Structure 1
Amino acid sequence: MALTAEQIKNIGIAGRVTSSFSILGTITIISAFVFSRHFRSPIHRIIFFNSFFNLLDSVATMISVSGPETGDYSPICQFQGFALQMFPLADVLWTLAMALDTYLVVFHHYDAHSLKKIEYKYIGSITIITFIPAIVFLFIRSSTKGPVYGNETIWCSISPNWLVLRFALYYGPVWLAIGLIIICYALIGIEITRLRDEFKLTDDENIALTSNVPNNRFVPEQSQASVTTTIETNSSDATKLPHTSESHITSSSSVHQVVTSHPLTSNSTPMNYQSPKQRRVSFKQYILMPALFFLALLATWVAPTINRVSTFINPDYQSYSLLIAVSSLGSLRGFWNGVIFTTIGMKGWKRHVIEKNILNRNGRRLHC
């Protein structure tokens, strides 16, 4: 059954409203990253890069039903089709990049500097993978099928006449990437479960990750005085702890406190020992945040995929409620990214402020 003009209008309104939320979320991400150093972890950086893709994606979804209304060959329809081919797929690949970062942290002990070195590879590969087919489709025409980008009721994208192409080079790569993300998180979950003694959730919601590198130098936990040492969240190079003064080892990632004690007299007898060769990985930044982005990704892609499978089975099938869901959820990518980015980032910032206050108090006590 064909949609009425009123229904199409409602679909357009829903798409534009949710697109405006996404634009607001994207601007929030960019602003927080630029103006606050507390949003500079490797995962935050990936979200920041992705936000520019999200912004152009939101511009395309903001056009909404106006694209099909101008005709398949119009510049507006072709631009919308190009944008909706490239940028939603890029969003999925950036989520895969977050999963790969988490995998590298857990299995290969990558630190913030190591992760930063591979960011240009993410930027280059994701841009090339998504841009090439999107730009090529602009020049494909057929006397029987028309252009690749055409009327899809709620916006312009790969038209129903090119449905096989849409499955092969759009939904196929999307769900392949989602499958790889699931595999990454499954392996990470298995590894954390298997190494319970090495991965421990602590009170400040960090994972203590032992590097398994032999170290003959041990630090006693109990003595007559204590010294506060701040170690960068995921640095594998912090192998030595100071004896007599406060030390800071920092980088672009979050910092968390490890309070250890050192004997100030030669007669003190150590009772318990711990290896200083230990890294603390932020559970929220490296596991929880990417996992939430993945869940938001699934919520975004389920409705469009159901709609596409339905039209593949029955080309004449159109569901008003399903198209409303596709238009709304498909336009919320930037919004969900902004919510997760700021919510978890603010909690990390508050934790940093608390730890800084504790560090200052410990420093004053030590001087006294």
Structure 2
Amino acid sequence: MVGLTQWQSSIVETTSRISSGFSLVGASFIIITFCTSKNFHRPINRLAFYAAFGNIITNVATIYSMEGIRAGRGSRLCQAQAAIIQWAIPADALFCLAMAWNVYLTVFRKKTTKQLRVLEPLYVSLCYGIPMVPALTFLIIKEPGKNKIYGPATLWCWIGTDWQILRIATFYGPTWIVLVLTFGIYALAGRVIFQLRRNLRHFAKESSSSQGTQALTSHPTARQQEPVLIVPGKISVTTVDTVEMSVAQDANLEAQTHIKGPRPSSLFPGITHHSSPQIVPDIASYTCHIEAVPHRHSRVRLKANNALEANTAAWAYCRCAMLFFLALLITWLPSSINRVYDLASSGKTSFGLNFAAALVLPAQGFWNALIYTVTTYPACNNWFRDIWVQMKQPLVWCRNRWRRRFDSSLQHSQSLSSV
């Protein structure tokens, strides 16, 4: 390994394998929890679930670390390791772009969860299909008089050092274009969401403070409203949404009131109120049917609350997706700096940068699982509780069986002693 001592190479190799192990555990956790509990079936979790398979495939290659280099450039291990890394690592960045695109569709196109789910097969096909094209191409192509494209690349087998331009053109360049597009989408969506949330909160506060004042000023007779009074031959009406009232004139007066809709509440326009009973003509019965129109203020307030809830959900999705984007930056930044340093220093190798790349680049599954756990903590808590309950059942059964045997043996010994 040119530029690194044997001790440094050993540290980098061990770091790469440990990081790959953590990533395998994290990606496996995502897959297992998603398959065993519907509480994790959210749109952003579904994309993390699809990306977890690529993380596992990546770690199968990175956990071999320098074994591919030792096997030789033309070995199957080296070629397979290089092709997997070229294919699976960029797929994670494309899934992050798919998450950002879902944020765009949610905020700007008002797409629902069902509509986003329809796009998931397309996302999976593109995220795994696009990077597969160069990965397979480099595996097949071999120019006469030149080495294969895949070969030793410091940390593991990948695009050889004699094909540096392909590293930029097919790996780092496209990945950073994806990162810039992702950041641009989050910047636009975040700006719109923040503005909407601020306006809706301001509107909600104003509506809450002015609701009582508007009701009283619009209906001054509200102060003179009296309770319902029913007398033979007379009727008095208070305001409800819908009231059907019958009054009989015989001695045994029965009044039946049927209320449809909400309970009696505030006053509505179009209803005449009486501060004293009104005389009804001398007829056997009198039926009064009143339908009131709900407050326009209430309808506007309800729409505002619904809009606030929708934008809160959109912000929660955007916040979670931005965490995945942050993890992607942590993964790619040290490796990209290492690649730029390698080009600028004419092939010199930095132990610190290679150590950082070996630490974070294979750990995509670990970072994704960490964010997955944090953003779905209640579901994870319930999942672990259910697992613990299932694990306790055999222990409880064994304990009860042991107690029964102990009690029976104790009773048997007592019966023998009494004899």
Alignment TM-score > 0.5, same fold? yes
2:165 counterpart of 1:164: yes
Cα offset, 1:266, TM superposition: 4.8
Partner Cα separation in structure 2 for residue 92 and residue 338 of structure 1? 15
Alignment correspondent of 2:119: 118
Alignment correspondent of 1:264: 262
Partner Cα separation in structure 1 for residue 200 and residue 7 of structure 2? 56
Partner Cα separation in structure 2 for residue 267 and residue 303 of structure 1? 64
Residues 275-310 of structure 1: per-residue CA shift (max 9 Å, x gap): 346453435751121111101100111111111111
Q: Which has the larger radius of gyration?
A: 2
Cα offset, 1:350, TM superposition: 7.1
Q: After the TM superposition, which parts of structure 1 deviate over 6 Å for at least 4 consecutive aligned residues?
A: 348-351
The amino acid that maps onto 2:70 is E
Residue 268 and residue 150 in structure 1: after superposition, are their counterparts in 2 closer, same or farther (change >3 A)? same
Residues 321-344 of structure 1: per-residue CA shift (max 9 Å, x gap): 111111111111000001110111
Unmatched tracts of structure 1, length 5 or more: 202-242, 244-261, 352-368
Residue 165 and residue 199 in structure 1: after superposition, are their counterparts in 2 closer, same or farther (change >3 A)? farther
Cα offset, 1:67, TM superposition: 1.3
**Structure richer in helix, relative to its length:** 2
TM-score (norm 1): 0.74
Structure with bigger RCO (C-alpha 8 Å, 6+ apart): 1
Which structure 2 residues correspond to residues 268-283 of structure 1 after superposition, within 5 A?
Answer: 268-269=266-267, 273=298, 274-276=301-303, 278=307, 279-280=309-310, 281-282=312-313
Alignment correspondent of 1:138: 139
Cα offset, 1:196, TM superposition: 3.9
- Structure 1 residues 117-126 or 93-102, which shifts more? 117-126
Partner Cα separation in structure 2 for residue 198 and residue 147 of structure 1? 59
Partner Cα separation in structure 2 for residue 143 and residue 264 of structure 1? 84
The amino acid that maps onto 2:5 is T
The amino acid that maps onto 1:88 is I
Is the partner of 2:158 in helix, strand or coil?
A: strand
Partner Cα separation in structure 1 for residue 323 and residue 171 of structure 2? 23
* Matched length: 292
Alignment correspondent of 1:308: 339
Q: 1:289 aligns with which of 320, 327, 351?
A: 320
Partner Cα separation in structure 2 for residue 36 and residue 284 of structure 1? 24
Alignment correspondent of 1:223: none
2:78 counterpart of 1:87: no
Alignment correspondent of 1:334: 365
RMSD over aligned Cα, in angstroms?
2.4
Residue 349 and residue 198 in structure 1: after superposition, are their counterparts in 2 closer, same or farther (change >3 A)? farther
TM-score (norm 2): 0.65
Partner Cα separation in structure 2 for residue 102 and residue 79 of structure 1? 35
Alignment correspondent of 1:56: 57
The amino acid that maps onto 1:310 is Y
The amino acid that maps onto 1:43 is I
2:26 counterpart of 1:25: yes
Please tell me whether the aligned partners of residues 97 and 182 of structure 2 are also in contact (alpha carbons under 8 angstroms). yes
- Percent identity, aligned pairs only, is 33
Please tell me whether the aligned partners of residues 43 and 285 of structure 1 are also in contact (alpha carbons under 8 angstroms). no
Please tell me whether the aligned partners of residues 145 and 162 of structure 1 are also in contact (alpha carbons under 8 angstroms). no
Cα offset, 1:197, TM superposition: 4.9
Residue 108 and residue 168 in structure 1: after superposition, are their counterparts in 2 closer, same or farther (change >3 A)? same
Residue 41 and residue 285 in structure 1: after superposition, are their counterparts in 2 closer, same or farther (change >3 A)? farther
- Structure 1 residues 187-196 or 332-341, which shifts more? 187-196
Alignment correspondent of 1:207: none
Please tell me whether the aligned partners of residues 106 and 314 of structure 2 are also in contact (alpha carbons under 8 angstroms). no
Cα offset, 1:147, TM superposition: 0.9
Cα offset, 1:195, TM superposition: 2.6
Partner Cα separation in structure 1 for residue 42 and residue 165 of structure 2? 40
Partner Cα separation in structure 1 for residue 200 and residue 186 of structure 2? 15
Which structure 2 residues correspond to residues 206-245 of structure 1 after superposition, within 5 A?
Answer: none
Is the partner of 2:63 in helix, strand or coil?
A: helix
Unmatched tracts of structure 2, length 5 or more: 203-240, 242-259, 269-294, 383-419
- Structure 1 residues 141-150 or 180-189, which shifts more? 141-150
Cα offset, 1:64, TM superposition: 0.6
Alignment correspondent of 1:47: 48
